Amino acid sequence: MNKKVSLQDLGRKDYKDTWDYQETLFADIVAQKVAKRENPEIVTSNHFLFVEHPHVYTLGKSGDLSNLLLSEKQLADKGATFYKINRGGDITYHGPGQIVGYPILDLENFFTDIHKYLRLLEEAIILTLAEYGLQSERSQGETGVWLGVGTPFARKICAMGVRASRWVTMHGFALNVNADLGYFDNIIPCGIKGKAVTSMHAELGRTVDEQEVKQKIVKHFADLFEAEMV
């Protein structure tokens, strides 16, 4: 079992280019797993990508296109792009001021439980937010991290959507740090009507150091997954 995770910060990168890169890493790990059947000494890789995307809306494979409230022209006018992709979940937004994390892991190096995987990703964000005095939690039946659960002011601060095949993961989470929340007005986020979206900036009333947040996420991820980040 290899618990080393290669950490890369891609900076600001186009969504499609990043998706293609994820697919390449994903395919490499799957090929390693196939080769491992013949040679058990082969070690499979793990990766964790941080990235910030230009304005983009993405729709999961089971998502409803009607949750995008913009025409193609309106998308262009806003400088945004749109992709239908192969993760779970419905529609979400990515853009500047948002920390996006893509763990591309061979879960057989850690545990073979997708439910546990999602819960630990959520926990890494919950623990990170707690360091800023923000009490966040899970919302029953709704993947991601929320504030004000069970109140009329429930609001999502971190969206999640993953794909897993042969116990290899891709896609991941999007934490709103200093993001422009106005872009969420153009969708029904995650297909959930009547619930708001928030950010660390909106909750704390100040701009938050995104590099510091990333460091905290990495620390909690490493602890929870008993991983060595390299």
Q: What's residue 88's pLDDT?
A: 66
The model scores a pTM over 0.85: yes
The parts of the chain modelled with pLDDT lower than 70 are: 88-89, 189-195
Q: What per-residue confidence (pLDDT) applies to 215? A: 98
Among the listed residues 124, 190, 197, 227, the single catalytic one is 190
* pLDDT tens digits for range 40-79: 999 999 999 999 999 999 888 777 778 788 887 888 888 8
- Determine if residue 87 is labeled as part of a ligand binding site: yes
Question: 158 catalytic, yes or no?
Answer: no
How much is the pLDDT for 1?
A: 86
pLDDT of residue 142: 80
Q: According to the annotation, is 92 in a ligand binding site?
A: yes
Q: Is 202 annotated as a binding residue?
A: no
Does 90 count as an annotated binding residue?
Answer: yes
Q: What is the 3-state secondary structure (H, E, C) of the chain?
A: CCCEEEEEEEEECCHHHHHHHHHHHHHHHHHHHHHHHHCCCCCCCCEEEEEECCCEEEECCCCCHHHECCCHHHHHHCCCEEEECCCCCCEEEECCCEEEEEEECEHHHCCCCHHHHHHHHHHHHHHHHHCCCCCCEEECCEEEEEECCCCCCCEEEEEEEEEEECCEEEEEEEEECCCCHHHHHHECHHHCCCCEECCHHHHHCCCCCHHHHHHHHHHHHHHHHCCEEC
Domains, the chain: 4-229 (3.30.930.10)
Q: Is 93 annotated as a binding residue?
A: yes
